[in-house]
Amino acid sequence: EFGDRKAKAEKMFGLMDGFLKNDSISLQKDILDHVEFTVARSRFNFDDFEAYQALAHSVRDRLIERWHDTHLHFKKKDPKRIYFLSLEFLMGRSLTNSVINLGIQDQYADALTQLGFDFEVLAEQEGDAALGNGGLARLAACQMDSLATLDYPAWGYGLRYQYGLFRQIIVDGFQHEQPDFWLNFGNPWEIERVHVSYPVKFYGTVKEEVLNGKKCKIWIPGESVEAVAYDNPIPGYGTRNAINLRLWAAKPSDQYDMESYTTGDYINAIVNRQKAETISNVLYPDDRSYQGKELRLKQQYFFVSASLQDIIRRFKDLHSNFDEFPDKVALQINDTHPSISIAEVMRVLVDEENLNWSKAWGIACSIFSVTIHAVQPEGLEKIPVDLLGSVLPRHLEIIYEINHRLMEELKKSFGQDYDRLSRMSIVEEGAVKSIRMANLSLACCHTVNGVSRVHLETLKTRVFKDFYELWPQKFQCKTNGVTQRRWIVVSNPSLCSIISKWLGTEAWIRNIDLIAGLREYAKDPDLHTEWKNMKRVNKMRLAEYIETLTSVKVSLDAMFDVQIKRIHAYKRQLLNILGIIHRYDCIKNMDESDKRRVVPRVCIIGGKAAPGYEVAKKIIKLCHAVADKVNNDPDVGDLLKVVFIPDYNVSVAELVIPGSDLSQHLSTAGHEASGTGCMKFLMNGCLLLATADGSAVEIAEEIGAANMFLFGAKVDEVPALREKGTTLKGSLQFARVVRMVRDGYFGFKDYFKSLCDTVEDGGDFYLLGYDFASYLEAQAAADRAFVDQVKWTQMSILSTAGSGKFSSDRTIEEYAQQSWGIEPCKCPF
């Protein structure tokens, strides 16, 4: 029989003409076929967008080919797999990344030229897949790239939102949100798997029954929604492996509403069916505050339940004994959002697979690990008990049972220390009785990861102090990293060529440690020339983009100074703007000879504010108000320009980062868990102006503090400074710039009053006043360094050369070895 199958497979392979061909003629033919038959346009008449669609489909074919081979190979080898559960993935565009990772970029560029198109122009047609908010979500995307590249047998699981993160439009300087219906024009990067679907149940009641003399719980759900898989192949670089990111979409289930059809209420039955789809409709645009929303909980459970059914089905294909589960399955939960999966695994093992509690708990504890991406205890997710009990009644019972056993165990260690027990309890008593999802994760996971050394320290000594004292071995540091494929190779091709040329190899694209080899040439004048040219060309591209979007003309000789990230009080964009006001004020008070010594600056800010976040929205408006004043002031000219880049997203970052000279990371020390934006700038040779927070501390160790501009209070100084509260006075300079805003120098006096209050009367929680003087000093140091272009270029080269540690390849290797216990599983060529 096997012989038969083999012969059949060989015949089919022959009929298919072997693997897809990648020479220029085959690619041209392939693209034209897709124009004609997939896009259904005439091959004699199609525009850039249609050409992009055809091109994308041709690339997709090649992705699918490798993705099939990879999964066959995984199935054959049956290694332990890592399943990465995340409610958010911020993938951005896929085209350029895919052809680079597949190793066929030049062939495609060539094929398109022959057809009269330009690859880069077509690449611009693609919209962003923005199924996430910020750091956590983009990190997940970088890690998927590393998992594929390093040949790990990995799966990503998430939600296929119909609406990604809102589009930001700016009207009169105010942010407005518009829906991002990213699927409007189709999505060539996904494969709809109508036959891969699972029912996900909600609501209902729990009954106790005696089966075979054993008491057991039966959940009788009240609603069922179907989860349909959409697969997104993720190609590795320099390998045949392409792994899968499986995103679930909610579809109405046929099972439950048959009754309404038979009762004749046809129209209502259809309307109700459609309601099921709302579960995967929209991404929550608020990345820090949890409001105990029912839909959010349903989203979490929906993707977790479908993913676990899928994982268990795959396990059962080859195994029948759950003792082997931990040898085959590692589950990583990205922050606490998927932590309901712990209760779900217990429910499946105990209620459906009939394992006893201790055995099931032993399995759960050996498969789960979690990474925490927040710092503030109040940022940790809590679900009101009433809500959980209504949506997932059986899970609530299970969580109570886990908590009961946890409390018993704690009593053994801590006796009657009730304060401690109540802090560690999964159930929070209080006005609204809630489930602490972080405590649930801590109770179960074998590893709890922080995302930088400083962050892990905060978790150990503050946020999860009690848990650390009990289980110190669980706590691990996995300093974040980003993928050099996207953040250098895709987004900065000129830098990529320079690095490869000077290192004499492209091997750094897979082995980032080699990038340190650039240090040797940090003073080489020839490298300096190439480096400066590269930067100038990137700045030119950015300047054009700025002019198109904002009509502001900027000088390429100015220092491009950038702060792009979500707008948050703790990230202190306000500090940046107040610094800009100070700079403006200084220029206004200068005579002409002083002005000649000013280093011209283009201050670029970009980022979205959560729709309900008033303070963040005021910061955006202030930025525009200041820009209006400064950019139209003839006394200032090219010495200072202020630009707000609207609708910041991954593809905007790919354009902005390579064109920046300086980047700002201003979080109050102790508030940024890691920060990954700084790593992208670092790789691109942009100098960092930063507080000693999150990963910046480790960056300083790698490149030397002298090669960046550090400022501000240190992590361990912050609590004492806060204690001093209102007695802490900012400098006179600080008072002056805040006064300018208060007095209406930039208009909108009443509107900005509350913003000014937050840094003065409001107690200045984020210490803007305290840090202002040292911020200005760091800015002055950056100006001085920029004047000496040789020194600046050398610092820039040393930044890139020192960025090796901050590759997600390193992070993923650490996870694989220290948390997941998985080995590479490379698909043979």
When binding is defined by CB under 6 A, the residue of 673, 759, 782, 827 that contacts ligand OAK is: 673
Report if residue 338 touches ligand OAK, rule: CB under 6 A.
no
The values of phi and psi at residue 171, to 5°, are -120, 120
Minimum CB separation from ligand OAK for residue 644, in Å?
A: 22
Residues 469-508: x where in contact with ligand OAK by CB under 6 A, - otherwise, as a string: -----------x----------------------------
Minimum CB separation from ligand OAK for residue 750, in Å?
A: 32
Candidates 80, 566, 582, 671; catalytic one:
566
Report if residue 712 touches ligand OAK, rule: CB under 6 A.
no
Candidates 273, 436, 583, 680; catalytic one:
680
| Distances 59 to 100, 105, 128, 695, 802 between C-alpha atoms, Å | 11, 10, 17, 36, 34
Indicate the residue among 576 and 808 with the shorter CB distance to ligand OAK: 808
When binding is defined by CB under 6 A, the residue of 67, 112, 134, 609 that contacts ligand OAK is: 134
> Of the ranges 3-11, 579-587, 668-676, 722-730, which one interacts with ligand OAK (CB under 6 A)?
668-676
Minimum CB separation from ligand OAK for residue 449, in Å?
A: 10
Return the number of other C-beta atoms located less than 10 Å from residue 654's C-beta: 20
Tell me the C-alpha distance between 316 and 573, whole Å: 51
Minimum CB separation from ligand OAK for residue 142, in Å?
A: 9
Return the number of other C-beta atoms located less than 10 Å from residue 532's C-beta: 15
Minimum CB separation from ligand OAK for residue 808, in Å?
A: 11
> Of the ranges 52-60, 434-442, 597-605, 669-677, which one interacts with ligand OAK (CB under 6 A)?
669-677
Residue 486 bears catalytic tag: no
Minimum CB separation from ligand OAK for residue 665, in Å?
A: 10
| Distances 110 to 25, 63, 497 between C-alpha atoms, Å | 9, 19, 18
Minimum CB separation from ligand OAK for residue 373, in Å?
A: 4
Report if residue 694 touches ligand OAK, rule: CB under 6 A.
yes
Report if residue 676 touches ligand OAK, rule: CB under 6 A.
yes
Residue 373 bears catalytic tag: yes
Residue 571 bears catalytic tag: yes
- Residues 271-300 contacting ligand OAK, CB under 6 A: 287-288
Q: List b or e across 707-724, with b for residues whose CB sees 16 or more CB atoms inside 10 angstroms.
A: bbbbbbbebeebeebbee
Contact yes or no for 488/704 (Cβ under 8 A): no
Report if residue 402 touches ligand OAK, rule: CB under 6 A.
no
| Distances 57 to 191, 195, 490, 818 between C-alpha atoms, Å | 11, 22, 19, 39
Question: Which single residue is written with the structure tokens 């995307």?
Answer: 141
Handedness of CA 646, 649, 653, 655 (dihedral sign): negative
| Distances 570 to 42, 71, 406 between C-alpha atoms, Å | 54, 43, 35
Report if residue 56 touches ligand OAK, rule: CB under 6 A.
no
Tell me the C-alpha distance between 338 and 342, whole Å: 8
Candidates 62, 571, 617, 665; catalytic one:
571
Report if residue 139 touches ligand OAK, rule: CB under 6 A.
yes
Contact yes or no for 602/641 (Cβ under 8 A): yes
Tell me the C-alpha distance between 263 and 224, whole Å: 19
When binding is defined by CB under 6 A, the residue of 310, 672, 702, 783 that contacts ligand OAK is: 672
When binding is defined by CB under 6 A, the residue of 579, 675, 802, 804 that contacts ligand OAK is: 675
When binding is defined by CB under 6 A, the residue of 100, 136, 459, 554 that contacts ligand OAK is: 136
- How many residues line the site for ligand OAK (CB under 6 A)? 19
Minimum CB separation from ligand OAK for residue 434, in Å?
A: 17
Residue 566 bears catalytic tag: yes
Report helix, strand or coil for 159. Answer: strand
Tell me the C-alpha distance between 658 and 484, whole Å: 13
Question: Which single residue is written with the structure tokens 């902005």?
Answer: 656
Report if residue 674 touches ligand OAK, rule: CB under 6 A.
yes
Report if residue 335 touches ligand OAK, rule: CB under 6 A.
yes
Minimum CB separation from ligand OAK for residue 685, in Å?
A: 21
Residue 405 bears catalytic tag: no
Residue 618 bears catalytic tag: no
Indicate the residue among 378 and 761 with the shorter CB distance to ligand OAK: 378
DSSP state of 485: I
Tell me the C-alpha distance between 693 and 671, whole Å: 7
Handedness of CA 452, 456, 458, 463 (dihedral sign): positive
Candidates 240, 298, 337, 373; catalytic one:
373
Tell me the C-alpha distance between 290 and 384, whole Å: 11
The values of phi and psi at residue 669, to 5°, are -55, 135
Report if residue 364 touches ligand OAK, rule: CB under 6 A.
no
Report if residue 374 touches ligand OAK, rule: CB under 6 A.
yes
Report if residue 664 touches ligand OAK, rule: CB under 6 A.
no
* Nearest Cα to Cα of residue 682 among 600, 562, 555: 562
Q: List b or e across 328-342, with b for residues whose CB sees 16 or more CB atoms inside 10 angstroms.
A: bbbbbbbbbbbbbbb
Return the number of other C-beta atoms located less than 10 Å from residue 627's C-beta: 22
Minimum CB separation from ligand OAK for residue 443, in Å?
A: 19
Report if residue 393 touches ligand OAK, rule: CB under 6 A.
no
Paired sense of beta strands 329-334 and 662-665, if any? unpaired
> Of the ranges 132-140, 159-167, 406-414, 549-557, which one interacts with ligand OAK (CB under 6 A)?
132-140
Indicate the residue among 442 and 640 with the shorter CB distance to ligand OAK: 442
Active site members: 373, 565-566, 571, 676, 680
Residues of this chain that interact with ligand OAK (CB under 6 A) are: 133-136, 139, 287-288, 335, 373-374, 379, 451, 480, 672-676, 694
